[in-house]
Amino acid sequence: MKYFGAIDQGTTSSRFIVFDENGSIVKQHQQEVTQYLPDEVSVEHDPNEIWESILNCINEVNKEFQIDQLDSIGITNQRETTLAWKKSTGEPLHNALVWQDTRTQNICDELKTISELEESFNKTGLPIATYFSLSKILWLLKNVDEVKQAREDNDLSFGTIDSWLLFKLTGEHVTDVTNASRTMLMDLESLNWMKDILTTLDIPENSLPEIKPSLYNFGTNSDLLKNVPLTSVLGDQQAALFGQNCINSGDVKNTYGTGCFALTNTGNKIVHSNNGLLSTVAYQKDGEDPQYALEGSVSIAGAAVQWLRDNLNIIDNSEDIESLAMGVKDNGDVYFVPAFSGLFSPHWDETARGVLVGLSRFSNKSHIARAVLESVAYQSNELLESMEKDIETKFDTVNVDGGMIVNNLLMQFQADIFDKKVISQKINEITALGVGAASYLFINNLPLENMNLFISQSKTWNPNMDSNQREHYLNKWNKAINKSKQWK
């Protein structure tokens, strides 16, 4: 039996998982990551805590499964989250600014006024938004004395979480194309850092990691990893795309986690969206051309359930939301837009705010719970509709993964609102499986099409809603979206 491993560093937790050659989980360990919220617009992680969590997860697995039995290991990570550290010592210079952090809105507003960079920003495939790494890098350069000093000393490194972990594991300052494509600093076509953006914004190029293919021999760590090679790095949503075997143009998946992220493979063609989506790199194998994707990003999905639990105390555990929502036959005309940090795709409205509308004396907490769940389906539907317009096609099925797919009420409603078949896989850990399998296929020189050997369908939800009812729901949702946008 052969084995491969995956380091999965997410927004709320870190994991290390060992899979066998059939794609089954052999051992795993998970550790939560602290969310630091200094104010209403800031979200931070402690880089040392992230590293310690990875150390702990690997060491815990190694107690029951000898790491040196692995053929390879892959790394997948929360993507746009950005940090700075000293080249010489590896000492973090500030907490990491998480992808959800919106403190950089003023910086983004300034970037939008630099007309000479407009064409260059278009080449990155991304809109100017707090979501991406560029504004976080600029904030760190402007506001953190330790970063300013490291820059003066030519001792400054910036990176996303993959780059931080690779530096800690191998001593090399590198990243992969999928993560680099989320920074607003990489040319999607050349796969190089854009010198004009760096020069204009006075960002030292030598502070950025070297860009490598996603499937590549990144090196190893003789102590922690027992010389097992790291042979794949994929941002978490690209790892899920690969894990769902969406390696052909037109394949589509939607991941339901902290946020929702829908991607469709566009092959070797960069598709620039006219409907509020992002152009990004799906993956690249060393020595081959990159594969691209269109992506739609929703910032608040599972996080809205956590909000119900932690802020409103309507439920004790996240899993309780389904039974609470099933206490009523429908949403009672209550709609919830979770624009806690503005709206991402396809709206890109940073001024929008969360709204709960349609309340009456009849409304109760079950209606609110149902509205929260349904908001995930409505937002995802907006992403799929935008994709269909951009690539001029109609999807028949959507592959789904992520923690929320265990919620049968949500998945059936999603199929109804999509008006498409929704398919899940037997294994829930698709993101980790995707990057781990990619590392295994690469190190063993196997065709990427073999990804289909690691997965099998688990459950299917078919649409079962009257078209008039569907239109009624969507019309009311659009009214709620407009209310959210009117907050400004």
Write down all domains in the chain, each with its CATH number in brackets: 3-235 (3.30.420.40)
Counting every residue, how long is the chain?
488
Q: How much is the pLDDT for 86?
A: 96
Please count the other Cβ atoms lying within 10 Å of the Cβ belonging to residue 370.
26
| Cα Rg of the chain (Å, integer) | 22
Q: How much is the pLDDT for 316?
A: 87
Residue 469 DSSP SS3 = helix
CA–CA gap between residue 19 and residue 15 (Å, rounded) = 13
pLDDT, tens only, 112-153? 999 999 999 999 999 999 989 999 999 999 999 999 999 999
pLDDT, tens only, 8-37? 999 889 999 999 999 999 999 999 999 899
Query: DSSP alpha helices (H): ranges in 280-421?
Result: 302-310, 320-325, 365-391, 408-418
Q: How much is the pLDDT for 425?
A: 85
Structure tokens at 240: 């899920």
The widest CA-to-CA distance across the chain, in whole angstroms, is: 65
Q: What is the mean pLDDT of residues 299-316?
A: 89
Averaged pLDDT of the chain: 93
Structure tokens at 355: 């709204």
In the predicted structure, residue 297 carries a pLDDT above the cut 80: yes
In the predicted structure, residue 255 carries a pLDDT above the cut 70: yes
pLDDT, tens only, 449-474? 999 888 877 899 999 999 999 999 99
pTM of the predicted structure, to 2 decimals: 0.90
Structure tokens at 354: 């969360």
Q: How much is the pLDDT for 416?
A: 96
Structure-token match 């004790």, residue found: 316
Residue 83 DSSP SS3 = strand
CA–CA gap between residue 65 and residue 67 (Å, rounded) = 6
Say which residues have a Cβ less than 8 Å from residue 76's Cβ, sequence separation at least 6: 6, 7, 8, 9, 162, 233, 234, 235, 236, 239, 431, 432, 434, 435
- Find the helix or strand (DSSP H, E) in which 163 lies: helix 161-170
SS3 content of the chain, % helix, strand, coil (to 5): 35, 25, 40
What's the pLDDT band for 486 if we cut at 50, 70, 90? confident
Nearest to 35 by CA among 319, 260, 298, 258: 258
Amino acid residing at 375: S
Bin 201: left if φ > 0, else alpha if -120 < ψ < 50, else beta.
Answer: alpha
- Find the helix or strand (DSSP H, E) in which 134 lies: helix 133-143
Q: How much is the pLDDT for 439?
A: 97
- Find the helix or strand (DSSP H, E) in which 178 lies: helix 177-180
From residue 118, alpha-carbon distances to 105, 128, 178, 351 in Å are 18, 10, 22, 22
pLDDT, tens only, 364-387? 999 999 999 999 999 999 999 999
Q: What is the mean pLDDT of residues 82-111?
A: 95
Q: How much is the pLDDT for 488?
A: 65
Query: DSSP alpha helices (H): ranges in 444-486?
Result: 467-485
Bridge pairing between strands 230-235 and 215-219: antiparallel
Q: How much is the pLDDT for 300?
A: 87
pLDDT, tens only, 283-294? 999 999 999 999
Q: How much is the pLDDT for 93?
A: 97
In the predicted structure, residue 487 carries a pLDDT above the cut 80: no
What's the pLDDT band for 429 if we cut at 50, 70, 90? confident
CA–CA gap between residue 258 and residue 305 (Å, rounded) = 9
CA–CA gap between residue 203 and residue 371 (Å, rounded) = 44
Q: How much is the pLDDT for 218?
A: 97
Q: How much is the pLDDT for 247?
A: 86
Q: How much is the pLDDT for 446?
A: 95
